[in-house]
Structure 1
Amino acid sequence: MNPVFAAAMAGSHSTTGIEAGTAFTQPRPADTDKRIPSRPGFSPVRLRTLMKLAVERTGLDLSELTVLTEAATGAYAVTAVLAAMSGAKHVYALAKAGRHGTVADAKQETLELAAPLGVADRIEILEKISPEVLCNVDIITNSGHLRPLTAPLIAHLRNDAVIALMFEAWEFRREDLDIEACARRKIPVVGVNERHPAVDVFSFLGPLAVKQLHDCGLAVLGNRIGLLCDNDFLVPLRTGLASSGASVTTFDSAAAVHLEGWEAFVVALQPAAAPRIGQAEAAHLAACAPAGAVVVQFWGDVDRAALARNGFSLWPTQPVGQGHMGILLSEIGPEPIVRLQTGGLRAAEWVWRGGAVTRDGFAQLVPWQE
């Protein structure tokens, strides 16, 4: 998920939002790397166990294929290693320095994760991408260090190459890749069905929203929550909040909210050209809620200044990248990241091998032909 979602990672995964915009491509707090690696749930041993289970569940088989993805830190270090352990004959992994890690950090974490699996020799860490690399790959992932996938880059891909979106097709963001260039080359852009039983990332959305509310100081249990959601995140978010004891009422827009004793509004609105909550929407929400209500930005862009002018506290406190999620998927552990990355590769592999795209299958297509 850019939105979507959008994410999640405890490492150096680039933030263009939307871990992941995708909804799941997401911004990261500066202290992420200092905090996550010490958590036992993110240990390399456990990551490898989760990876093996995910490959087994999905049936990911990249044998004889060449993959171009990113080399990252934290939970996103799994991506290149998943490709190699699934039989890819060669994996190119682009590393970039950033506030979450250096090129050396990304290389070390990726190869240390790969070495005990016996696949480190098939992963080549790159600091730049040459045309020679591009014309050799079968699958290229829409990962943070690779974005944006520009028209010149796409022009060097082989005719049978496939782009793995790494989240659901409806979460596609035009700023991530040049969809017109893909249309000209007839290169499929493949989303992953995050609700497929073998992937099931959507089941983590509810616990993720609960975590976000807990972090901002709301117990969830017994609280009145207005859930603003106009997309497929609705059911898992509502279920997760309600199962934790919240009284949840859902609205498909800010304008639909009515007067009530809301403790918080959780915003999960599909990103658009303008913020989904601007001055008019913020004023309406303020008229519907008592003083002290909080606006929690799960996904979807909001006018922070407008909300502040209308007396709201906003969580997270730091601005969220356009189209990105307001919380990292990895805040509740590496499982959703491992599942999402494995599913994204599996969906691309399915299309590359000529599998039919069905409603209940792994793969979805971004409709560049329209």
Structure 2
Amino acid sequence: MLMKRALAETGLDMSGMTVLTEAATGAYAVTPVLAAMAGAKQVYAFTKPGRHGTVTDAKRETFEIAATLDVADRIEILEKISPEVLHSVDIVTNSGHLRPLTAALIDQLRGDAVIALMFEAWEFRREDLDIEACARRKIRVVGVNERHPAIDVFSFLGPLAVKQLHDCGLAVLGNKIALLCDNDFLAPLLTGLTNLGANVETFDSVAAVHPGAWEAFVVALQPTDSPRIGRAEAAHLAACAPDGAVVVQFWGDVDRAVLAANGLAVWPPQSVGQGHMGILLSEIGPEPIIRLQTGGLRAAEWVRRGGAVTEDGFAQLVPWPEVT
């Protein structure tokens, strides 16, 4: 089973710990179950209705998995988080139903509690949690090294981009693709696309793109406060592309209205949340999610137990800002 293998490969051990995470649906239903499988004495899983399912859906899917692994008795699903729960937890995950982690929530945590970011530290989004409150309380926010051999989520990024291109009607094989990337996603994305036979040229900014017979612009630009593709950028891409080119939003916010006004198609067709990826890892199966969630818990567990943070280890720290 994928979950047991992920636990064995990472060495996740949450014995004696209390964890607050989410109860979600689909592949994300595994998170509280993984914590319980790793020996957590109590797992609180908060849920609420969302676009991926109802409260009933989340409860059912979580307990269906937990029951088969005989850990359901240590998972409690919550629709409201009490101060007593917050006072008791060792680890809180930066998970969808819990976000944003507000100052009011953070101020209720013990001083030795740890927040599990659940992705790499450099991908931190300020809208997810109040980092100033964490700095004031000295609450550590722990990213996970997704490139650690026991986790290796980055190897799924190339197949994920290929899935997006297939979904929007491109074969990848033989397609001429401009890959716009200014971050550490570059190498796995380039490898994944070229291994499938795409003709790829890379650019670290929209301004660097030159005219060509581009069939797609794959955008993987680190989000900022404003869209990475706004009015000026959309006009530049339109000037560089033939009719029918599509802008594929892998990561990095884009202004869909100005892209459409410039005659460019956008994939995915629906808008995604600010700062979020245009496709979920779960779109290519449960394994990358299981690896990522196990790794996120392992990184936080490591720091909570006093482990040293090293470049090649599981854990990364989000730096605290200066607070007055």
TM-score (norm 2): 0.98
Return the offset for 1:115. Answer: 1.0
Q: Which residue of 1 aligns with 2:258?
A: 306
Aligned-partner Cα distance in 2 for 1:273–1:100: 26
Q: Which residue of 2 aligns with 1:228?
A: 180
- The correspondence for 1:130, drawn from 76, 82, 89, is 82
Q: Which residue of 1 aligns with 2:156?
A: 204
What is the 5 A alignment of 1:320-359?
320-359=272-311
- The correspondence for 1:158, drawn from 84, 107, 110, is 110
Aligned-partner Cα distance in 2 for 1:222–1:129: 52
Aligned-partner Cα distance in 2 for 1:239–1:347: 27
- For 2:236, the aligned partner's letter is H
Q: Which residue of 2 aligns with 1:242?
A: 194
Q: Which residue of 2 aligns with 1:366?
A: 318
Return the offset for 1:283. Answer: 1.2
Aligned-partner Cα distance in 2 for 1:169–1:322: 17
Aligned-partner Cα distance in 2 for 1:354–1:330: 32
Q: Runs of 4+ in structure 1 displaced over 4 angstroms? A: none
Q: Deviations over 1:94-147 (max 9, x none)?
A: 111223222222111111101121111000111100000000000010011111
Q: Which residue of 2 aligns with 1:59?
A: 11
Aligned-partner Cα distance in 2 for 1:71–1:183: 27
Q: Which residue of 2 aligns with 1:171?
A: 123
Aligned length: 322
Aligned-partner Cα distance in 2 for 1:309–1:122: 53
Return the offset for 1:369. Answer: 4.8
Q: Deviations over 1:222-251 (max 9, x none)?
A: 011000000010000000000000010000
Aligned-partner Cα distance in 2 for 1:100–1:116: 23
What is the 5 A alignment of 1:268-307?
268-307=220-259
Q: Deviations over 1:276-303 (max 9, x none)?
A: 1111111111111111111111110111
- For 1:73, the aligned partner's letter is T
Give 3-state SS (helix, strand or coil) of 1:259's partner.
coil
Q: Which residue of 1 aligns with 2:30?
A: 78
Q: Which residue of 1 aligns with 2:213?
A: 261
Aligned-partner Cα distance in 1 for 2:57–2:168: 31
Percent identity between the two aligned chains: 82
- For 1:262, the aligned partner's letter is W
Aligned-partner Cα distance in 2 for 1:326–1:369: 29
- The correspondence for 2:55, drawn from 103, 126, 138, is 103
Aligned-partner Cα distance in 1 for 2:16–2:188: 37
CA contact (8 A) 2:131 2:321 kept: no
Uncovered stretches (5+) of structure 1, i.e. residues with no partner: 1-48
Q: Deviations over 1:9-57 (max 9, x none)?
A: xxxxxxxxxxxxxxxxxxxxxxxxxxxxxxxxxxxxxxxx111000001
CA contact (8 A) 2:23 2:45 kept: yes
Q: Which has the higher contact order (CA 8 A, sep 6+)?
A: 1
Q: Deviations over 1:300-341 (max 9, x none)?
A: 011111111111111111112111111121111011100000
Q: Deviations over 1:190-222 (max 9, x none)?
A: 000000000010000000000100000000000
Give 3-state SS (helix, strand or coil) of 2:207's partner.
helix
Uncovered stretches (5+) of structure 2, i.e. residues with no partner: none
Aligned-partner Cα distance in 2 for 1:222–1:178: 45
Aligned-partner Cα distance in 1 for 2:215–2:107: 51
TM-score (norm 1): 0.86
- For 2:318, the aligned partner's letter is V
- For 2:290, the aligned partner's letter is V
Q: Which residue of 2 aligns with 1:88?
A: 40
Q: What is the RMSD of the two structures over their aligned residues, measured on CA atoms?
A: 0.8
- The correspondence for 1:115, drawn from 67, 80, 83, is 67
Q: Which residue of 2 aligns with 1:190?
A: 142
